[in-house]
Amino acid sequence: MAALYCSCEQQRPIWGEFWWVGGNYEWVFFDEQERSEKYTERLTHCPACGQSLARMNLVDAVKG
């Protein structure tokens, strides 16, 4: 599991997991905001900005 944020202005918190799907590994993303109506649901787009979710579009939660 990885704690990530969308790279949009709202920096929506998202968690990602690397799953084995159909013979390949792929990232899957979930809503991490507890007050969201999509909390714990699988996401394909950022709930805040609508950007398609891909690992390269997300930033790590650890900021240093």
pLDDT, residue 28, reads 92
The span from the CA of 9 to the CA of 26, in Å, is 26
Q: How many structural domains comprise the chain?
A: 1
Could you read off the pLDDT of 43-54 as tens digits, one per residue? 999 988 999 999
The span from the CA of 25 to the CA of 18, in Å, is 6
Is residue 15 scored above 60 in pLDDT? yes
pTM reported for the whole predicted model? 0.76
Could you read off the pLDDT of 16-53 as tens digits, one per residue? 998 998 999 999 999 877 777 766 788 999 988 999 99
Q: Structural domain of residue 46, as residue ranges?
A: 2-60
Beta bridge mates, 42: 30
Per-residue confidence at 56, pLDDT binned at 50, 70, 90? confident
| Residue whose entry in the numeric block shows the structure tokens 């950007």 | 51
